[in-house]
Amino acid sequence: MKVLRTGVLLIVMSVLLVIVGGAIGGRGGLQIALVIAVVMNFVSYFFSDKIALRSSGAQPVTREQLPRLYQVMERLAAKAHIPVPALYVVPDAAPNAFATGRSPKHASVAVTEGLLQVMNDDELEGVIAHELSHVRNYDILTSSIAATIAGAITYMAQMGRWAMIFGGYGGNRDNDREGGGFSALLMIFLAPFAALLLQLFLSRTREYAADETGVNMVGQQYGLISALEKLGAYNKRIPTSAISPSTSALCIVKPFFGSGTLSSLFSTHPPLENRIAALKQMVITPIR
């Protein structure tokens, strides 16, 4: 069901892109915006792992340095039938973790020093299983496709705004008389907002899916439930000192918390209480 939902969201975003392109820039404008978005996200897709690791100050670790982490990672990677990712530690007291990389063969998992200090073995296993699930489910690829479409929609809207400023907006008076001008105006201001909401909803969907896959990988949900409860409590008290806002979307819990409805609406992560409630109701289907 979650795979179907992801596919539907990507299709809706694609349809929105076509509608926006036709309303604002026609075929030529659509092609330009799409090319720019594809190029930018191509670079992001192939280099985002290096950017995320470098910006957070993550350092590679060996088995000799962290045997406990390696044992958990190797056991779960074997269960998930994927290669063992490269392992990194982020010098940050706030407990958190993130996975990055364009495919299971090019994946990295980073955990903070704070996470290693506060998690027991079951909780660490739940966190690592969640991150390996992102790798196994190709969530970086899915996010890159969504970002490409959302980026193209945003570029189209920006082109429409500039056209309005310099008097070239509309291009076709017949379209204006038929209401095309008004529809394009709506697209300029509403389409980027709609694309953002769809992208955020897709991100939340992938978090739920990673929770579910990770729990099935481990065979029980109690370790991840306890880990999420502990992460939520610690991250409300300890601000992150290393993870950047751009990297925070990759983390198992969002390092920067807001208190209002609006901040929750624009969060890349579902509310922790909703994730925990979903985990408590799960029926385990072990991965074989």
- Tally of structural domains, the chain: 1
According to the model, what pLDDT value does residue 202 have? 81
Indicate whether 287 belongs to any domain.
no
Beta-carbon contacts of residue 70 (< 8 Å; ≥ 6 apart): 63, 87
Residue where the block lists tokens 């958990």: 72
The three-class DSSP label of residue 241 is coil
d(CA 271, CA 279) in angstroms, rounded, equals: 13
Tokens standing for residue 22: 């036709």
Indicate whether 152 belongs to any domain.
yes
Range of the domain at 221: 2-280
Give catalytic residues, as residue numbers: 131
Indicate whether 156 belongs to any domain.
yes
Indicate whether 9 belongs to any domain.
yes
d(CA 52, CA 106) in angstroms, rounded, equals: 14
pLDDT tens digit at each of 288 positions of the chain: 555 655 666 666 666 666 666 666 666 666 766 676 677 667 767 777 888 899 999 999 999 999 999 999 999 999 999 999 999 999 999 999 999 988 899 999 999 999 999 999 999 999 999 999 999 988 877 776 776 677 667 766 766 666 666 655 444 444 444 444 555 666 666 767 777 777 787 888 889 999 999 999 999 999 999 999 999 999 888 989 898 877 888 899 988 644 444 455 567 889 999 999 999 999 888 777
Beta-carbon contacts of residue 224 (< 8 Å; ≥ 6 apart): 123, 126, 127, 129, 130, 211, 214, 215, 218, 279
Indicate whether 153 belongs to any domain.
yes
Q: What is the pTM of this model?
A: 0.78
Indicate whether 285 belongs to any domain.
no
Which amino acid is residue 128, in one-letter code? I
According to the model, what pLDDT value does residue 187 have? 64
According to the model, what pLDDT value does residue 39 have? 73
